[in-house]
Amino acid sequence: MKIHQISTILFAILTLFFGNVLSAQTVRKTAQGINFSAQQLDISVQFYSSNTVRIYKTPKGRPYVKTSLAVTAKPEKTALIFAQKGKNYMIKSKEIQVDVNTETGGVYFSDLSGKQLLHEKDYGTQFSALNDGGTPSFKVRTGFLLDKDEAIFGVGQILDNKFNRRNSAHHLQNENMSTYSPFFHSVKGYAVFWDNYSISEFNDNPQELSFESLGHCSDYYFMYGGNADGVISKIRALTGKAPMLPLWAYGFFQSKERYNTQEESLDVVKKYRELKVPLDVIIQDWRYWPEFNKTDSAWNSQSFDQLRFPNPKKWVDDIHQLNAKLLIVTWPGFGPKTAQRKEFDSKNMIINFDTWPPNSGARPYDVFNPQALNIYWKYLNKGIFSHIGNDGWWLDSTEPDHINKKDSDFNLPTNLGSYRSVKNGFSLMHNKGIATHQRETNDQKRVVILTRSGFVGQQLYGSNTWSGDVNSTWDMLEKQIPAALNYTLIGIPNWNSDIGGFFAGRWRKGGGNKNPEFQELYVRWMQFGTFSPMMRSHGTDLPREIWNFGEKGSWCFDAQEKMIKLRYRLLPYIYSTSWDVSRNDGTFMRPLMMDFAKDKKTHDLGNQYLFGRSLMVSPVTKYQVKKWPVYLPKTSGWYNFWTNQFIEGGKTIDTDAPIEIVPLYVKAGSIIPLGPDVQYASEKKWDSLDISIYAGADGKFILYEDEGDNYNYEKGAFSEITFLWSDDNKTLNISNRKGSFKGMLNTRKFNLRLISKSAKAQETRSIAYDGSQISIKF
C-alpha cells in the first residue's frame, strides 16, 4: 500500500480519535492544518502541499487578511496525520512532519525519519507596535535555529564577494546594484520564504537566524525539496514557473549609454553584419523621447523625438530586415510635462518623491495600484509596442531610483500602504504589469524583459535581472559570480551583468578602449557573459562595440569574437537548458553545491559553477594570469573543454588560462550538442548537429526544439529527442522523437564524437536521423 493511501486511512482514524481532544486543547483542526493561540498570538499552520507549509501569526484578537504579491499557488488538498505528543501537536504529510508547541508558539520541521530540518525558536515571534506614516502597524520579527555548520544561500544579489550567507547581516532594501528577497536556501534541502515586501532586516549569527520587517503578520513558507533542485521546484510551484524565452534571447546583445539617433543604432547592426560577428539584439537606452531645453521635463514620455527618430516604425522594420531584434527602455518615473504624469497625478497614482533624473521633477507611478498598471500599459502600448513592434523591454530603475532621499518619503502612501511597507515589491509589480499586458495584447510574441531589480516570483514574467550600474573593475567582476549564484538560488533563473562593467571612465587614461588592462578586463567579463543566461554588452564612458577594441585580427577583437561564436554554437545546448528551466524547474547557473552537496568544499565555493547540467566554468577575475585554480568536485571525472584532457575529481588544479581561454570543464557522462556557425540565432536550421559524448559515466540529454518565439509550446507544439549514453556498453541510444511543431525538421544528420579518458582515443560517426529510435555502438 502506498504511503499516501496509508496517510489517508490514518487521517480518517486519527481525525475521529483526536477531534474532541483538539477542541479541548483549544487547537482547532482545519482542512489543511491547525489554528491555535499561544503567547498572545493567533497562529495558523497550513499545508499548501505535502512539502510546503505556511506559518501565519498575528497578535491575538487582531486578525489580518493578507494578500500576497508573490504567491500564486492555492492550497492543495493534502492528506495529513494529526497527533498529540505531550505539549506538542504533530502534523505529518507524506513528505514532512511539523511539530507545534502550543505553549511557546514554536514550530519545528522534520523529515519523515524524524531528522530535524529547521527549528523556529520557542517564543521566537515578536510584534512591536509602531506608527507607520500615521497608520498603526508593527515591527515583526521571527527567529530560527540552524545547525552549527549548516550552509545557507540566497537572500538575493549582494555584491560582497561571499557565497555562504551564514554569519551575515543585511539591510534588505532594493536599490541599484542591491537586489534582495527575504528568502534563504539551506544545503539540507529546504528553504524559507518570509513573505514581506517592506524594507527589512536579515541577520544570522551563532544564536539565531532572523527576519525583521514592517507589517501586520508574521507570514512565511517552509519548503522541503530534499536537495537544491527540489527547493527551486517548490518555490516556483509557490510563486510561478519560468516561461520559455525566445531562441533569439540567448544570442548576443549590444547596447551602450546611449544611441542618439535611429540611424546610429541601425548602423551598429549593419557593421556587425559586415564584420560577420554574430548579433541578435540591439538595445535603445534613454532619451529617445523629445527633450525640452534639456530639463528632462518630458522624461519617459514613451514617444519619439521627431528629429532624431523621425520614423521609428521604419527603424524597427530595418532592424528586423537585418534579422536583429530591438529592446527599448522604459522607466517607472515620468516628467511633469508628460501625458502619463498628468493622468497619474489626476488620479493620485504617483508616489510623490523625486526619481531619476535629478532636478527633472520626474516621479514614479504607483505600481501597487492595478488601475495604474493598466494606465502605464495603455501609453506604452500606444506609443511603442503596437506602434513600432519592438521585441522586448529594458525596464530601468525598477527599485526605483530615489533622488534627494528623505525619511519622510517612506511614509508616502501607495495603494497598499506606506511606501516603506511595500518598497521591495516595486520591481515585481512593475514587471508583472508589463508582462501580463503584453501577453494579453499579443500572444504570438514571448515576453522578454531586462530589469534592474527583482523579488521572489519575478521569474513568472519573462524577466532577466541585471546587476545594476557596476564599476568597471577586476574586483567588481569577481563579485558578480557569487552574487549571481545566490540570486538564482532564490528561484529566479535569469540574470546577467553589463559586460565590462557600466562605469568605465577610469580607463580613459592610457588609451580608453585600447588600454591593455581594460581590454583584458572586457574580454574576461565577456567570457563570464558567455556563460550567463543573457550575454549583453553595455556601459558608459567608453563605447563597447567590438570594433572599438581593435580591428579583426587583433587579439582583443579575436578573443571577443571567439566567445561570441562559441555562444552561438552552444545554442542547442542553451535552448534545451532553457526548456529544462521552464519544464523541470532547472537552473542555468548552478552553484556546485547543487550537484555536489555532499562535497563540503562546494558549500563556500562561489566563484565557479555549472552552466546547465554539464559545463563547469571558472571565470578568470584577475589581471595578467596564465594559470587559474579550478576545483573539480568529487564523484565525477572532468574533461578540459579545450583539450579533452581527462582529470579525476576531488582536487584543485591549476589550469592554463591564456587571455583567449576561459577555464571550462565538462562533466563525465555529458552529451553536448553544438550547432552551426551563424550570424543570428535562427539563421540556420539545426539539420546537422555535432554531438559530443564524454565517456566515464552514463549520460542523458534531451534536445528540445520549437517554433522559437511564440507560446505554442504551451499547447504542445515542440519536440524532444532523448540521447542516452551507456558507459558500460559504449552505446548511444537516440530515442523516437516526441512531439512536433510547424517547420520541424523531419530528417537531419548527427555528427557523433566519443571523447574518452585518453585524449587520443576518440571515435566519430555520422548518422542520418529520421525521428525513429536508433542505437550506435562505439
Q: State pLDDT tens for residues 384-443.
A: 999 999 999 999 999 999 999 999 999 999 999 999 999 999 999 999 999 999 999 999
pLDDT of residue 293: 63
pLDDT in tens, 132-166: 999 999 999 999 999 999 999 999 999 999 999 99
Contact 196, 219 (CB under 8 A): yes
Q: How far apart are CA 650 and CA 777, in angstroms?
A: 31
122 is an active site residue: no
The percentage of the chain sitting over the pLDDT mark of 90, rounded to a whole number, equals: 95
Q: Quick one: average pLDDT of 103-130?
A: 96
296, pLDDT greater than 90: no
Catalytic member of 120, 212, 343, 469: 469
pLDDT of residue 762: 86
CA dihedral of 126, 127, 129, 130, whole degrees rounded to 10: 90
**Homologous superfamily (CATH) for 685-777:** Golgi alpha-mannosidase II (2.60.40.1180)
Question: Which strand (E) or helix (H) includes residue 14?
Answer: helix 3-24
Q: Quick one: average pLDDT of 447-452?
A: 98
Measuring CA to CA, which residue among 505, 575, 496 is closest to residue 530? Answer: 496
103 is an active site residue: no
pLDDT of residue 18: 40
pLDDT in tens, 308-367: 999 999 999 999 999 999 999 999 999 999 999 999 999 999 999 999 999 999 999 999
Question: Which strand (E) or helix (H) includes residue 373?
Answer: helix 370-380
pLDDT confidence tier of residue 98, bands split at 50, 70 and 90: very high
Say if pTM beats, i.e. exceeds, 0.85: yes
Q: Quick one: average pLDDT of 460-486?
A: 98
Contact 583, 528 (CB under 8 A): no
Question: Which strand (E) or helix (H) includes residue 482?
Answer: helix 474-488
Domain segments of the chain: what residues?
A: 3-239, 685-777
∠ CA 247-249-252, rounded to 5°: 115
175 is an active site residue: no
Q: How far apart are CA 588 and CA 526, in angstroms?
A: 17
**Assigned CATH for 3-239:** 2.60.40.1760
Q: Quick one: average pLDDT of 266-294?
A: 94
Pairing of strands 209-215, 135-145: antiparallel
Strands (E), 281-344: 281-284, 325-330, 333-334
For every residue of 136-171, which 3-state class applies, written as one string?
Answer: EEEEEEEEEECCCCCCEEEEEECCCCCCCCCCCEEE
For every residue of 761-776, which 3-state class applies, written as one string?
Answer: CEEEEEEEECCCCEEE
Contact 675, 737 (CB under 8 A): no
Catalytic member of 42, 285, 399, 498: 399
Which phi and psi angles does 751 have, rounded to 5°? Answer: -100, 105
pLDDT of residue 292: 67
763, pLDDT greater than 90: yes
pLDDT in tens, 667-718: 999 999 999 999 999 999 999 999 999 999 999 999 999 999 999 999 999 9
Catalytic member of 195, 396, 520, 580: 396
For every residue of 409-441, which 3-state class applies, written as one string?
Answer: HHHCEECCEEHHHHHHHHHHHHHHHHHHHHHHH
Q: Quick one: average pLDDT of 258-278?
A: 98
Q: Would the CATH topology of 3-239 be identical to that of 685-777?
A: yes
pLDDT of residue 17: 38
